[in-house]
Amino acid sequence: MLTAFAKGVSQLNDRATRRILWLSIGAAAAAFVGLWMAVGFLLTQTRLFSIGWLDVAVDMLGGLATLVLTWFLFPAVVGAIVGIFLEDIADAVEARHYPGLPKGEGLSFWGTLATTLSYLAAALVLNLAALAFLVAPPVFPFVFYAVNGYLLGREFFELVALRRVGREQARALRKAHRWQVFAAGVTMTVLLTIPLVNLLAPVVATAAMVHLFEGWRGNARRA
C-alpha cells in the first residue's frame, strides 16, 4: 500500500497530470470555502445538536467552531467531488504505468452521480453522528478516521474498479481486500486533514487506488 501511495505522489510530477492537479486544487479550495460558509450559516441559524452544553460551546467558540466543523466535514465533501476528475487522473496513471491497458470504459454520468450522492449522504450523516463522540475527546479521532476511512476507501475503490470490471467482480475484489481498502481509506483521510496537503490529496489518492486495484486484479487473474 505504501508503494501505491508513493507512486501516487510521484504522479504529481507527470505532465499529463498537471492540468488535472490545478483543477483539483481549485475544486478542493472552492469546496472548503463553500463548506465553511454553509457550516457558518447552519451554526448561526439553526440548532444542530440536541446536547445543550454542546450548543453552548459552539456559540462560545463562534468562528473557531465553524473552522473545526469545516475541517471535520472536508474529507466527506472532497470525496464526493472526486468523480469529476477521477477518469482523467486514472487515464494519466494508466498511460504512465500500464500502457498496455485498453482505455477504460468509465462510469456513465448517472452511475458516477448515483455513487457520489450515495457516498455523500452516508458521509454527512455518519460524520454528524460522530460529533456525539466529542464528549469523549480521546475516542473521537479513532471514530472520525474509522468512519471516513471506510467511506473513502469504499468510494474510491468502486469508482476506480467500475471503470474496468462489473459490479459483482468489483465487490468481490473489495471484500477480498477489505482491510487494505480500509487502510487506504484511512490514509486518504489523514492526507485530507493535513493543511495544503489536502489540496493535493484527491489526485494522490485516486492514483494510489488505481495501482492497488491493478495489483489486486492481476493477482486474482494469476490465482
Domain annotation covers residue 76: yes
Average pLDDT over residues 14-29: 82
Q: Count up the domains in the chain and report the number.
A: 1
104 belongs to a structural domain:
yes
Q: For residue 204, give the amino acid letter.
A: V
> What confidence score (pLDDT) does residue 6 get?
92
pLDDT confidence of 183, banded at 50, 70, 90?
Answer: very high
What is residue 176's predicted lDDT score, i.e. its pLDDT? 93
The verdict on residue 110 lying in a domain is yes
pLDDT in tens, 83-121: 777 888 888 899 889 988 887 776 666 777 777 778 878
Largest CA distance in the chain: 60
DSSP at 103: P
- Which pTM value belongs to this model? 0.81
Q: Which three cell numbers stand for residue 163?
A: 471503470
Residue 160 inside a domain? The answer is yes
Residue 137: helix, strand or coil by DSSP? coil
CB pairs under 8 A, 24+ apart, for 7-15?
Answer: 7/97, 7/207, 7/208, 7/211, 8/203, 8/204, 8/205, 8/206, 8/207, 8/208, 8/211, 9/204, 11/89, 11/92, 11/93, 11/96, 11/203, 11/204, 11/207, 12/200, 12/203, 12/204, 14/92, 14/96
Domain residues for the domain of 67 are 2-218
- Is residue 223 included in any domain, yes or no? no
- Terminal CA-CA length for the chain: 20
